[in-house]
Structure 1
Amino acid sequence: MASPDQIAAQILSTKSLSVSPNWLNTFLSSGLAQRNVPLSALAKTAIFRLLASDIKESLSKHRSCVLPVDVYDPMVQERCLQGSIPVQVLDIEDIGTSLWSQIEAIERVERGEAIRGREIVRTIAVDEDPEAAESNPTNNGPVAGANASGSSGSGPHRLILQDAGGTVVTGVEIQRMDGVSVEKLAIGAKLLLRNPTVARGMVLLTPGCATVLGGKIETWDTPWRQGRKARLLEKTGGLEAE
């Protein structure tokens, strides 16, 4: 039977995540460890559940694994944090696309439309029979680049991040990062920061200092997406787009 220390070491070596002993003991009490599951498979299951968990409960709060409590201090011009620090996504915003463009993109998705070049084309409607749609020669089908979030994912993006100790900081994408977009990055997803630079209280996100580990907290992500259009409208003063 795999020991907690063995599993913790496996998770640390593969994902650089220091798991909380209490969380790990709870995971092992589920009975998986008693089923003669190989250590590698057990560690993979633990990692999957870690990525779907609130890291304030599942990861170590040792000071080497968390952000400085004053990380968001705008009076500090620039500093480099040392070590690997896991964080989870509380919010993501496409700051490279206008609010109205994002609202209109969401509304096109709601109407079952998408953009192809300069044309607006019809995709499968919400209540439409997929088989009937396939046989309809006027249906252009899904278009590359269209998605249910109503965002092209062009970026750059601003993220609200939280560490295992509960400290919250803003991260700004200053170089394009794979996997970072409103559509691809779920709320509750985990990122691993490695020696990141913090300038005026904001973490500067680049492929060299931030790795997307993935994951999602369903109870956070679903309401966030359902309320996204309303939040965008609120920022514009609540006026409907023409």
Structure 2
Amino acid sequence: MTSNPHQQITTHLLTTKSLPVSPTWLTTFLASTTTSTSRTIPLSALTQTALFRILTSDIRDSLSTTNPSTLLPVDIFDPTIQERRLNGPIPLQVLDIEDIGTSLWSQVEAIERVERGEAIRGREIVRTVNVGEDSEAAAAENNNNNNAAGGGGGGGGGDSNGTHRLILQDAAGTRAVGLEFARVNGIGLGKLAIGAKVIVRDVTVARGLVMLTPESCVVLGGKIEGLDVQWREGRKERLLERINGGV
């Protein structure tokens, strides 16, 4: 192992992933890695492990907040500011994702098909073997394709890649609403887990909304397991509450 893995890992993750690692977090990570094994770990493997840990961590713990340019403005929600651009790069984690291009009922129906172990193929409902969040995404996508192609009922209200609305959070805990202004690879129900990390740079904020585009947003992935499980388990109930309450 190099004599200074701390500096090399910090530099590598900052230059290749735009992740300003917290020195305190990294010190703790290196100490735990060193004491957990007696063998020498190659720097490349150590760096990849650090990246994995960050992608599955709360960035309020794992990333540094010393550089203001890597954080959201504290007044990000201010609707009186018509437009501004954030240079970044700013690492963020996903706290919520919503498909606003698909009706609430269609989303509930997609969840219920997954619960029954069913998916849609064309106009037929077929049994699926592997049931999970990917199945839900596929069911919703097929349902939306049918609505778009056939103009049928169900109120799909958009194509299978329908616009998404995200709640995002930076390393200092500041939250913002992100709107998929143009389709971004990796953003979608069943694709993007809660706690996933994204990097925004040269992004436009219009009246408090962060406008996400392929040019301004890169999905790094990851997941905070506890938050993701909690979000998925409560999603159907939240959708039904909005339907019944008209929210």
> Paired residue for 2:32?
30
Separation of aligned partners in 1, 2:213 and 2:111: 28
Within a 5 Å distance, the mapping from 1:18-167 to structure 2 comes to 18-32=20-34, 35-61=39-65, 62-124=67-129, 147-148=135-136, 151-152=140-141, 154-167=161-174
| Gap change, CA 1:113 and 1:197, over 3 Å in 2 | same
Deviation at 1:125, TM superposition (A): 8.8
TM-score, normalising length: structure 2: 0.84
Match of 1:151, as an amino acid? A
Deviation track 1:34-67 (CA, whole Å, cap 9, x = no partner) reads 7322222211110010000000011011212101
Q: Which deviates further from its counterpart, 104-113 or 194-203? A: 104-113
| Gap change, CA 1:146 and 1:27, over 3 Å in 2 | closer
Deviation at 1:83, TM superposition (A): 2.1
Match of 1:43, as an amino acid? T
Aligned residues: 222
Q: Larger helix proportion, structure 1 or 2?
A: 2
Three-state SS of the structure 2 residue aligned to 1:100 is: helix
Structure 1 moving runs of 4+ over 2 Å:
31-36, 122-126, 148-154
Is the Cα contact below 8 Å between 1:111 and 1:125 reproduced in 2?
A: no
Is the Cα contact below 8 Å between 1:87 and 1:164 reproduced in 2?
A: yes
Q: Which deviates further from its counterpart, 230-239 or 154-163? A: 230-239
Match of 2:58, as an amino acid? D
The answer for unaligned runs of 5 or more in structure 2 is 142-159
Three-state SS of the structure 2 residue aligned to 1:184 is: coil
Is the Cα contact below 8 Å between 1:103 and 1:233 reproduced in 2?
A: yes
TM-score, normalising length: structure 1: 0.86
Q: Percent identity?
A: 60
